[in-house]
């Protein structure tokens, strides 16, 4: 397996002769729609207890959200949720296994949701809490979030409850569902129309299908988590990030099948590169942007309803290196590479997916087509090859009036800084505006040629006649 150093050397050497790639897009052949609230962030519940973080006066953070659009989903949960305590009038505490939430921090969260216009998924404590306490908290959440509430989850990663110490060995789906049903029954006595989601598993995808079968139309979302690997595992490398994870594809196939079979959308509500907060030197590099953008489009192509990239404080009590929005815990924010992937997707990934056929032999390049409903079709070209550039010829089966190019790039695939989208960085206070938009030349038959550098992304916008 190539090391990061050897990969970096390959990037610097480059290749003089680009690989020829052909892309044919048919804007009239529609494959499905990617919802407006596809993008989202995931937080540990301990983050809610941090004063001033998820609050309406945190204007910097709101600008980071605003760059991605007025629709999105905040998910509050994580491992800390099943160790947390609800104390309506108590003192808020942010701690890995001793977080306390109260009415004040919930009110702040509600105001933040209204200011951002994003929706909320909230994880109730099944691991160490009671159904009565969960219901009491849920009433407060519903009152604060109002129409911003998307759904409640009951328990975080229950398939790992035995490992986390919440249950004895042998805790299986049947045991989980029995407990879920009890919590749901108590909750709905207080909130009859409470929207629920689940089973919020770490890896037990089979639980999702069983849960959908048992709960049917009683639930709002099917939910699962995904990490490429553990941050201390041998698989936690840049090389693995840049290549397809067959486990991820198999998981999406199973989730899509369950979703279609029972008519309930599915969402990956906790997701990032490597569990345990990510791996420094991998999860915080530009490679993570290439990985994240390709993953966003892959999930969309499997009819996923969206995802929540984990950010901020993790279950170990420090800010994760993989955070899209990195917070130094002194009021200073910065956009990490994966945030730029989300920003690019907000431009080119939301809308109606259209048929895109690609021939790309000998290069790790993928392409995706999306029509935005404004007469534009976006072609996203993601070159995850660190030493090979591509000369891409795009042919549209609909007539093209003009075309533009926006680049997502960095000094190298392992760079931690210097990432730009449309030639501009996101400022620490959250401001971003496209700077470089290149006009592309159309040849007589309407074809467009784009040269995509190693470890970079080209967003091509076709303005149709």
CA dihedral 77, 38, 200, 117 (to 10 degrees): 30
Spatial contact of 438 and 405, defined as CB atoms under 8 Å apart: yes
The pLDDT, as a whole number, for residue 6 is 39
Strands (E), 183-265: 196-201, 221-230
Q: Which residue has the tokens 């994880």?
A: 123
Where in the chain are all domains bearing CATH 2.60.40.1180?
4-32+352-464
pLDDT tens-digit series, residues 194-248 = 999 999 999 999 999 999 999 988 999 999 999 999 999 999 999 999 999 999 9
**Closest C-alpha to 394, from 29, 21, 28:** 21
Spatial contact of 271 and 229, defined as CB atoms under 8 Å apart: no
Task: Put residue 89 in one of left, alpha, beta given phi > 0 → left and psi -120 to 50 → alpha.
Answer: alpha
Ranges of residues in the chain with a pLDDT under 50 are 1-6, 8-14
Q: Which residue has the tokens 């009859």?
A: 192
The pLDDT, as a whole number, for residue 217 is 84
Where in the chain are all domains bearing CATH 3.20.20.80?
36-348
The pLDDT, as a whole number, for residue 434 is 96
Beta bridge partners of 378: 370, 461
Query: Looking at the chain, how many residues does it have?
Result: 465
Spatial contact of 324 and 336, defined as CB atoms under 8 Å apart: yes
The pLDDT, as a whole number, for residue 445 is 76
Backbone angles phi, psi at 142, to 5 degrees: -60, -40
* Kind plus residue range of the DSSP H or E element containing 400: strand 400-409
Q: Which CATH architecture has domain 4-32+352-464?
A: Sandwich (2.60)
Q: Which CATH architecture has domain 36-348?
A: Alpha-Beta Barrel (3.20)
pLDDT tens-digit series, residues 383-432 = 999 999 999 999 999 999 999 999 999 999 999 999 999 999 999 999 99
The pLDDT, as a whole number, for residue 340 is 98
The pLDDT, as a whole number, for residue 128 is 98
* Kind plus residue range of the DSSP H or E element containing 246: helix 246-262
Beta bridge partners of 238: none
Cis check for the bond before 318: say yes or no (omega within 30 of 0): no
């Amino acid at each position: 397996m190539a090391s990061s150093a050897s990969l970096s050397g390959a990037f610097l050497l480059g290749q003089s002769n680009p690989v020829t790639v052909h892309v044919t897009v048919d804007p009239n052949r529609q494959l499905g729609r990617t919802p407006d609230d596809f993008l989202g962030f995931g937080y540990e519940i301990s983050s809610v207890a941090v004063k001033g973080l998820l609050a309406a006066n945190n204007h910097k953070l709101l600008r980071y959200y605003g760059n991605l659009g007025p629709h999105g989903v905040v998910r509050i949960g994580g491992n800390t949720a099943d160790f947390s305590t609800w104390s309506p009038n108590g003192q808020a505490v942010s701690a890995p296994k001793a977080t306390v939430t109260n009415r004040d921090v919930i009110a702040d969260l509600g105001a933040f949701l209204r200011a951002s216009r994003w929706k909320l998924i909230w994880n109730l404590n099944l691991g160490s809490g009671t159904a009565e306490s969960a219901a009491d908290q849920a009433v407060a959440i519903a009152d604060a979030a109002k129409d911003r509430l998307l759904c409640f989850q009951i328990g975080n990663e229950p398939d790992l409850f035995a490992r986390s110490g919440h249950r004895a060995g042998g805790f299986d789906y049947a045991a989980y569902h029995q407990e879920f049903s009890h919590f749901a029954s108590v909750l709905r006595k207080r909130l009859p129309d409470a929207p629920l989601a689940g089973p919020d598993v770490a890896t037990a995808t089979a639980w999702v299908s069983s849960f959908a079968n048992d709960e049917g139309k009683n639930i709002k979302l099917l939910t699962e988590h995904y990490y490429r690997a553990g941050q201390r595992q041998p698989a936690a490398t840049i090389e693995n990030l840049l290549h397809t994870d067959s486990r991820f594809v198999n998981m999406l196939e199973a989730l899509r099948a369950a979703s279609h079979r029972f008519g309930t959308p599915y969402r990956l509500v906790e997701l990032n590169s490597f569990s345990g907060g990510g791996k420094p030197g991998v999860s915080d590099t530009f490679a993570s942007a290439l990985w994240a953008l390709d993953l966003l489009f892959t999930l969309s192509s499997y009819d996923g309803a969206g995802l929540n990239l984990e950010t901020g404080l993790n279950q170990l009590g420090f800010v994760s290196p993989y955070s899209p929005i990195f917070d130094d815990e002194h009021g200073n924010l910065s956009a990490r590479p994966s945030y730029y992937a989300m920003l690019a997707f907000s431009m080119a990934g939301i809308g109606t997916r259209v048929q895109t056929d690609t021939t790309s032999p000998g290069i790790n390049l993928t392409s995706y087509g999306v029509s935005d409903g404004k007469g534009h079709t976006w072609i996203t070209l993601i070159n995850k090859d660190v030493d090979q550039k591509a000369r891409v010829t795009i042919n549209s089966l609909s007539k093209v009036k003009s075309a533009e190019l926006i680049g997502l790039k960095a000094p190298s695939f392992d760079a931690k800084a210097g990432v730009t989208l449309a030639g501009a960085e996101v400022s620490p206070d959250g401001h971003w505006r496209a700077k470089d938009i290149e006009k592309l030349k159309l040849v007589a038959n309407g074809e467009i040629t784009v040269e995509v550098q190693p470890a970079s992304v080209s967003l091509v916008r076709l303005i149709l006649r």
